[in-house]
Structure 1
Amino acid sequence: MFTRGLALAVTILFMTACDGVVPGGMSEPSLDIPEVEDGDISQATMVDITRELSTDEFEGRMPGTKGEELTVALLSERFEAAGLQPGNGDSWVQEVPLIEITGTNFAPLTITNGDTDLVYDYGSEWVGVTYQEEERTQLANSEIVFVGYGINAPERGWNDYEGVDVAGKTVIILVNDPDFETEGLEGTFNGRAMTYYGRWTYKYEEAARQGAAAALIVHDTQPASYGWNVVESSWSGPQAYAARGDNPPPLTTMNGWVQKEVAREILAAAGQNLDELTAAAKTEDFAAVELGMTASTSFENTFRTFTSQNVIGILPGTEAPEEYVIHTAHWDHLGRCTPAPDGDDICNGAVDNATGSAALVALAEAHVKAGAPRRSLVFLAVTAEESGLLGAYYYAANPIYPLDQTVGGINMDAFLVAGPSQDVTVVGPGKSQLDQFLDAALEADGRTPTPNPNPEAGYYYRSDHFAFAKEGVPMLYVDGGEDLVEGGREAGAALAAEYRENRYHGPKDEFDENWDWSGVMQDLQLFYRMGRMLAESTSWPNWNEGDEFRRTRDEACASAESGC
């Protein structure tokens, strides 16, 4: 069913509006992109699995519950029925050890300036958590340093930590990138488009690498892309983490957020001005500022350890079975949650992400029907995405198939069920040579790419593919289209808004027997074509020059005995 004789020599697409920017003037080799016929993808599979995973019996698919047991059993059975082989030796699962840490008895955040104390209440003015497995978290008289955006990016000639020692100290950090207010996509950090350096995950990781005791990010709604209510709800209550093993990365004592006006008051007490320091932090010659103040707080921690499971199947390749193309989707959701007005308290997660889990099975079936391609196809349903991509992070840190032998992958997170569209939404275009495969697949399907309309929100860094990207594996993240055949972009925007306002992460994200699956099937055909192109290709696509993940991939490939 595949034409290997014709390869498309496709050059990199320079998109006029995209999440990332491809540096001009560079020369990239042409890639081997085979033509691929349509796949035989079962709509019945999509409907049946989405419906079953969304029933109340599955209790919202919270990891560590009966819902997980039912979900793992269903996906394992359907992978086997599709014709895949177990993906972890003779097992369909990869065990993911998790630890849940719940902080209690929070003392205020106290900022001491000489004989004067500034005192801030937990929840309304600041939040904090620990990643360390200690019964008591204590931050005592830790010197405070303002480190701008908290970025150390040598490939971009930027280091906010240069010339300052923050070991054992508390760093205050601005959210997003230095150039996020730029209208266009030109700049040291891609202008308006957020890079990984703008995400809170990176800022905490870098602060820990620098030896900081605590890291406090200044919340600001526009650059964060969400309000304080999201911070307060997300950073309070139980926090789950993947077990870190024998060689964990550096950890701070505490990570947290402070309200913008709290940060303004703290800096003013040190004789500094938040607006002036923010402006200075946007420049390359910014120097960190030691404030001559200290921070103190404490809280208690309780722990719960449990094991969750990633579900994995493989279709071994014919010619290059030790080269892998991966498809990912998360099976978990929120379990029981805040009740709707009618009393329904089960977050069924039909769209998010029963649809993506069903898509893994439907694509597996189609690839098996077509016959194994030259490279192996891996189908990975990961756990604990809603807790912070934990299943994906665990796999990326403990890969069953070596990452330097993983060609690339496609992530599927929440198919918003709608009719057919003229386009697809590309989250993170311009980042890697996978765009060339996407462009070829879109051309074959007669569709066009629409760049993410909110690049400043950093959506590329918020789903499971990101765990692989951090380790250097090129990954695509494509959402459904916004330009619907019936109703155009206005109808697409209205549908997305209705879901976001009324169903997203709530009890009303439920299966609907009246859904129009034609748009989902259209998207699945695109994912099938892209995956098959990668699996039949002889090329190893890389990140584009200048991308934040290029160096990691190049280093992995340089040391690899086989693969990339």
Structure 2
Amino acid sequence: MVDNPGLHAILAIAFVLIAQAVMAEAATVSGAAIKAHTAFLSDDLLEGREAGTKGYDIAAAYVATQFALYGLKPARASSDFYQKVPLRRRSLQPDGVRFELRTKSGTQLYQNGRDIAVDASPSTLEEVIDAEMVFVGWGIRAPGLRHDDYAGLNVKGKAVVILEGAPASFPGALRAHYSWIQQKERMAAAAGAVALLTLKSPEREQFSPWERARQARPLPALGWTDRAPSVNGPAIKATITLGPEVARSLFARAGHDIDEIYQQSTSSPPRGFNLPASMRLSRRSVHEDSSTANVIGVLPGTDARFKDEYIVVASHLDAWVGPKGGADTIYNGAVDNAGGIAAMLEVARVLSTGDGAKRSVLFFATAAEEKGLFGSEYFVAHPLVPLDDIVAVISVDGLMAFHDFAGIVALGAEHSTLEEISLAAARSVDAIHMPDPIPGRGNLALSDQYPFLRVGIPVLFPNPARGNSRNGSEDVATWDDYESRHYHQPSDDMKLPLRWDVAQRSGEYIYAVVAGAANRPHRPRWYEGDELAAVFAPTADRAKRP
């Protein structure tokens, strides 16, 4: 996959050295091995591992080599460790966007990347969208929760303006599901809308700030070469984020105070209404069809009764790559997510070095997670093993090894018997479960477990809890410094003060979860009366909630 002889030599040396170090380790998780994998995968040599680039291909070859070294096998429907994922890279032509809002008082032109934020069209090279505008609150239809923001509103052929996120009254995991922008696009398209314009409330600013959207959304993006594998029916033509001043001006012209709407939305759903305005978006785009690859290795189960059931361990191989205006232009992605891949590789090594597991374990290095969960979405639409045989998915995203954590935030655990498995795994590393400190962020829908969840498979997305250390102290400074200054920045690299003894404990927890799920006599089951199961797995077997 790499055509540079110098890189071949470097890779060959790296593979040999890592192989020698790993084979010398006992069948226990090694912090040193996690460090070695993280260092290689986040090296400048790989130039950020953005899906579809040569750096990503090097990373994919590295992971596939490790899978082969551990004795893993290709999935049953594949002849090697790669699953090709066809994608389209789309970018805006220079000065390729013109966006106008039209009211009775005149027409106002707004600049992309300053006043509004929109990316290139996923479907057409040149287009004009001219549509009246309707505010539809959260933009959510959730029959099971008796919530319908579209009730009584005619949005056919129109542009809908929505709040990002979802009501705080929604159960946590369903709040994450209905906050996901792709889900809102599907609901808007099903209602007949042609465009989606999003507003950032003060709460959303904490997790997804306008400043970041302003810079990132106009950048080149990835999409499907035709349609998203999981989508049937109409599609939204454009999704646009409105800057705060544009939003305030638009609603003021309609006689509404946007800040009052934001405040109201914290306690009750805001009512929708027609806006006395229309939008016109002219957009010229460039498309380049290409492909990237998921990397998938299977450790076959050892028990004839369970070997055709699979535990999936998913971790994204790509890194976020954003604006390149500073002195350091390489987004190394050490914590997010070279470290997650490194932990996954260690779990694969330890399981294969030991006695294996009764169920088969499918290790899944996903492509293009940072661009919209494309690799995991594609796998779910084109599975290399039957989806009915996948009994659980554990997502490993981020190596937050900054303090000697006392707790695990095990997102998704409370919905299935994965909770019991995760609790036992946490105890094995001297930790406990702790609640999600930021439920409004919707993290359960923000990584590769989400496409599997939507088809009814129990999922677990765990990470160390912020701050609480085993000695009883609070240690938040380094964690918060990472979140505010290094997350999705070029400085997410090996110079961060990562603690590899803590990374080892994280790896030991993940190993205990995977081994626990793979060796139990019963496959993970949804809990009785669970609201998430009612939406995604209404007919699946249930277990009593302890």
Query: Bigger CA drift: 368-377 or 544-553?
Result: 544-553
2:183 matches 1:206: no
Displacement after TM superposition at 1:114 (Å):
4.0
Residues 319-355 of structure 1, C-alpha deviations (whole Å, 9 max, x = no match): 2222111001111124686365xx4322222222111
Q: Is the partner of 1:322 in helix, strand or coil? A: coil
Change in Cα spacing, 1:202 to 1:139, as seen in structure 2 (3 Å) is: same
**What does the per-residue CA deviation read over 1:108-133, in whole Å, with 9 as the maximum and x for residues that have no partner?**
43233346334433222212235532
Paired with 1:542 and 1:372, the residues of 2 have a C-alpha distance of: 26
Which of these residues, 102, 111, 114, is aligned with residue 101 of structure 2?
Answer: 111
**Unaligned residue ranges in structure 1 (runs of 5+):** 1-37, 180-186, 559-564
- Please give the alpha-carbon distance, in whole angstroms, between the structure 2 residues aligned to 1:246 and 1:483: 39
Task: Confirm or deny that 1:324 pairs with 2:310.
Answer: yes
Pair 1:519-2:502 in alignment: yes
Call closer, same or farther: CA 1:536–1:301 in 2, change over 3 Å.
Answer: same
Q: When you count helix as a share of all residues, which structure comes out higher? A: 2
How far is the alpha carbon of 1:436 from its aligned partner?
A: 2.2
Question: Is 1:74–2:56 an aligned residue pair?
Answer: no
| TM-score, reference length from structure 1 | 0.82
Superposition map of 1:17-28 within 5 A: none
Whether the 8 Å CA contact 2:140–2:187 is kept in 1: the answer is yes
Q: Which residue of 1 aligns with 2:163?
A: 174
- Which of 470, 495, 517 does residue 534 from structure 1 map onto? 517
Structure 2 equivalent of residue 235 of structure 1: 217
Q: Name the CA shift for 1:51/1:191 in 2 (closer, same or farther; >3 Å).
A: closer
1:499 aligns with 2:482: yes
Q: Does 1:99 align with 2:82?
A: no
Q: What is aligned with 1:64?
A: 52
Paired AA for residue 36 in structure 2: D
Equivalent residue for 2:153? 164
Asked if the contact 1:349–1:505 (Cα under 8 Å) also holds between the matched residues in 2, the reply is yes
2:184 aligned partner, one-letter code = K
Q: What is the aligned partner in structure 1 of residue 19 from structure 2?
A: none
Change in 2 beyond 3 A, CA 1:451/1:356: same
Aligned to 2:459: 475
CA distance in 2, matches of 1:514, 1:453: 23
- Tell me the residue number matched to 1:120: 110
Unaligned runs of 5+ in 2: 1-25, 542-546
**Structure 1, residues 114-171: CA drift from partner, whole Å, max 9, x if none?**
463344332222122355320112112x121111111100000111112333121111
Q: Indicate conservation of the 8 Å contact 1:419/1:486, yes or no.
A: no
Instruction: Provide the rounded CA distance (Å) in 2 between the counterparts of 1:193 and 1:158.
Output: 12
Contact residue 84 and residue 313 of structure 1 kept, 8 A: yes
Query: 1: CA distance between counterparts of 2:173 and 2:392?
Result: 26
Distance 1:67 1:395, change over 3 A: same
Shift, 1:101, TM fit: 1.3
- Tell me if structure 2 keeps the 8 A contact 1:474–1:543: no
Does the aligned pair in 2 maintain the 1:150–1:161 contact within 8 Å? yes
SS of equivalent to 1:356: helix
> 1:352-431, aligned counterparts within 5 Å?
352-418=336-402, 420-428=404-412, 430-431=414-415
CA change 1:465–1:244 in 2 (3 A) is: farther
Instruction: Give SS of 1:346's match.
Output: coil
CA distance in 1, matches of 2:252, 2:469: 54
CA distance change for structure 1 residues 337 and 214 in 2, over 3 Å: closer, same or farther?
Answer: closer
State, as a whole percentage, how many aligned pairs show the same letter: 27
Displacement after TM superposition at 1:205 (Å): 2.3
Residues 87 and 292, structure 2, Cα contact 8 Å, conserved in 1: yes
Contact 2:310 2:391 in 1 (8 A): yes
Which residue in 1 is equivalent to 2:246?
A: 262
Q: 1:9-48 alignment to 2 at 5 Å? A: 40-48=28-36
- Checking the alignment, whether the CA contact within 8 Å between 2:449 and 2:461 is kept in structure 1 is yes
For 2:128, the equivalent position in structure 1 comes to 138
C-alpha spacing 1:439/1:458, structure 2 compared with 1 (3 Å): same
**What amino acid is the match of 1:367?**
L
Report how far residue 293 of structure 1 moved: 3.2
Q: Cα deviations across residues 446-504 of structure 1 (Å, max 9, x unaligned)? A: 3112223222222222222222222322211111243564775532x112123234432
Aligned-pair Cα RMSD in Å: 2.9
Q: What corresponds to 1:195 in structure 2?
A: 176
Task: Report the AA paired with residue 532 of structure 1.
Answer: A
* DSSP 3-state at the match of 1:85: coil
- Quote the Cα distance in structure 1 between the aligned partners of 2:289 and 2:516: 41
Which moved further from structure 2: 170-179 or 149-158? 170-179
Q: Distance in 2 between matches of 1:264 and 1:339?
A: 30
Deviations 1:44-70 (A, max 9, x none): 432322222122222222222221221
Is 1:274 the equivalent of 2:258? yes
> Distance between the aligned counterparts of 2:328 and 2:117, measured in 1?
29
Cα distance in 2, alignment partners of residues 524 and 287 from structure 1: 47
Shift of 1:256: 0.9
**Is the contact made by 2:167 and 2:269 (CA closer than 8 Å) also made in structure 1?**
no
Q: CA shift at 1:553, angstroms?
A: 2.2
Provide the C-alpha distance between the structure 1 equivalents of 2:331 and 2:507, rounded to a whole number of angstroms. Answer: 25
1:347 partner SS: coil
What's the offset of the Cα at 1:413? 1.2
User: Quick one: distance in 1 between partners of 2:268 and 2:468?
Assistant: 43
Within the candidate set 492, 509, 524, 1:509 is matched to 492
SS at 2:307 equivalent: strand
**Change beyond 3 A, Cα 1:47–1:195:** closer
SS of aligned partner of 2:414: coil
Compared with structure 1, are the counterparts of its residues 481 and 291 closer, same or farther at alpha carbon in structure 2 (3 Å cutoff)? closer
Q: Give the residue type in structure 2 aligned to 1:229.
A: E
Summarize deviations over 1:212-270 as a string: whole Å, max 9, x none: 11110112242342321111122112111134459754311111111244233223323
Aligned residue type for 2:81: W
Counterpart check, 1:448 vs 2:432: yes
**Contact kept in structure 1, 2:172 and 2:439, CA below 8 Å:** no
Give the match's secondary structure for 1:425.
strand
Paired positions, count: 508
Change (3 A) 1:246 1:174: closer
Secondary structure in 2 matching 1:195: helix
- Counterpart-to-counterpart distance in 1, 2:107 and 2:403: 59
C-alpha distance in structure 2 between counterparts of 1:524 and 1:410, whole Å: 13
Question: Displacement of 1:367 after TM fit?
Answer: 1.1
Contact 1:315 1:368 in 2 (8 A): yes
Q: Which amino acid aligns with 1:351?
A: V
| Counterpart for residue 5 of structure 2 | none
Q: Which residue of 2 aligns with 1:5?
A: none
Q: How does 1:215-226 map to 2 (within 5 A)?
A: 215-225=196-206, 226=208
Cα distance in structure 2, aligned partners of 1:251 and 1:204: 7
Secondary structure of 1:437 counterpart: helix
Residue 359 of structure 1 aligns to a residue in which SS?
helix
Partners of 1:72 and 1:408 in 2: CA distance:
24
Which residue number in structure 2 is paired with residue 54 of structure 1?
Answer: 42
Which SS does the other structure have where 2:286 is aligned?
strand
Cα drift, residue 99 of structure 1: 0.7
AA matched with 2:462: V
The answer on whether the counterparts of 1:329 and 1:356 sit within 8 Å (CA) in structure 2 is: yes
Identify the residue that residue 7 of structure 1 maps to in structure 2.
none
In structure 2, relative to structure 1, the CA distance for the partners of 1:428 and 1:489 (3 Å cut) is farther
